[in-house]
Amino acid sequence: MAGRKKSTRKKATTKKTAPARKGGRKKATRAGGAPARAKKAPARKPAAAARKPASAAAAKQPAPPLTAEQVARRIVRMTVHPETLDLQALYAPSCTSREASGDVAEGIEAIEQKFAAFESMVRDQRWKARNTWVRGSRICIEWQGEIETTDGRSIQLDEVAVHELKGGKIVAERFYYDPALLEPPGTGRRPGASPGAAPGPPPVMPDLDGPSPIDPLDL
């Protein structure tokens, strides 16, 4: 009988120590979870940092140059609406512009002065692009102009403009029209008379019997 009682006490002692082992497992779980969370946080930061240089590099890439068709549309739009004219957007810094009179403006500053001189003698101007051709890096536009000068004259001006492009901007251009129409009264020149200086070679025109690749009504 005494032996049985001692055995019973040992079993009870064993049962009391069991919760201590369970508590140990819980502590171990809490201790192991903290380092796991600490390892995940730094992994997200390099990923975000890696995306920043890629976006910054993409923002620094220059826009591609305009196509010849896009430049043609810009020329027509700015001519029809002179208030939107932006010479810096149209011309390269070292461009040349040759008038039918033979006068040549070289460089963007000289072209700005030429436009300013024309504006000073014009009270109103209306332009219509009858035909527009684009071939390679060249643009050819047939214009009809109605000009009212500051001295009260009304001029109907037919003109052909040829523009050569490089890098999406005009590097050379020449205009073909009767320069006598723009001469002030009393100069002794009559419309249709030959100008004093040769206007250069005639423009190389595309096949005028075929349809224009750009519809002027869309410009």
Q: Are residues 48 and 102 in the same domain?
A: no
In 107-137, DSSP assigns E strands to: 122-135
Domain of 90: which CATH number? 3.10.450.50
For residue 101, give both structure tokens: 């009179």
- What distance in Å separates the CA atoms of residue 11 and residue 22, rounded to the nearest whole number? 18
Q: Are residues 49 and 74 in the same domain?
A: no
Full residue range of the structural domain in which residue 5 is found: 1-59
Q: Are residues 25 and 127 in the same domain?
A: no
Is the entire prediction scored with pTM above 0.75? no
Q: Are residues 74 and 165 in the same domain?
A: yes
- At 121 the pLDDT is 93
- DSSP run (H or E) holding 68: helix 68-80
Q: Are residues 149 and 182 in the same domain?
A: yes
Helix, strand, coil % over all residues of the chain, rounded to 5? 45, 25, 25
Q: Are residues 73 and 136 in the same domain?
A: yes
By the 8 A CB rule, do 176 and 195 touch?
Answer: no
Q: Are residues 72 and 55 in the same domain?
A: no
* The domain boundary residue, chosen from 59, 76, 98: 59
Q: Are residues 51 and 101 in the same domain?
A: no
Q: Are residues 55 and 104 in the same domain?
A: no
The tally of domains found in the chain comes to: 2
Q: Which of 125, 119, 187 is nearest to 156 (CA)?
A: 125
- At 62 the pLDDT is 81
Q: Are residues 147 and 204 in the same domain?
A: yes
Q: What is the pLDDT of residues 95-128, one digit of tens each?
A: 999 999 999 999 999 999 999 999 999 999 999 9
By the 8 A CB rule, do 156 and 126 touch?
Answer: no
Query: Is 45 or 149 the better-scoring residue by pLDDT?
Result: 149
Q: What is the pLDDT of residues 143-160, one digit of tens each?
A: 999 999 999 999 999 999
* The domain boundary residue, chosen from 36, 59, 82: 59
- Residue 185's pLDDT band, with cuts at 50, 70 and 90, is confident
Q: Are residues 181 and 88 in the same domain?
A: yes
Mean pLDDT of 147-174: 96
- What distance in Å separates the CA atoms of residue 178 and residue 100, rounded to the nearest whole number? 7
* The domain boundary residue, chosen from 12, 33, 59: 59
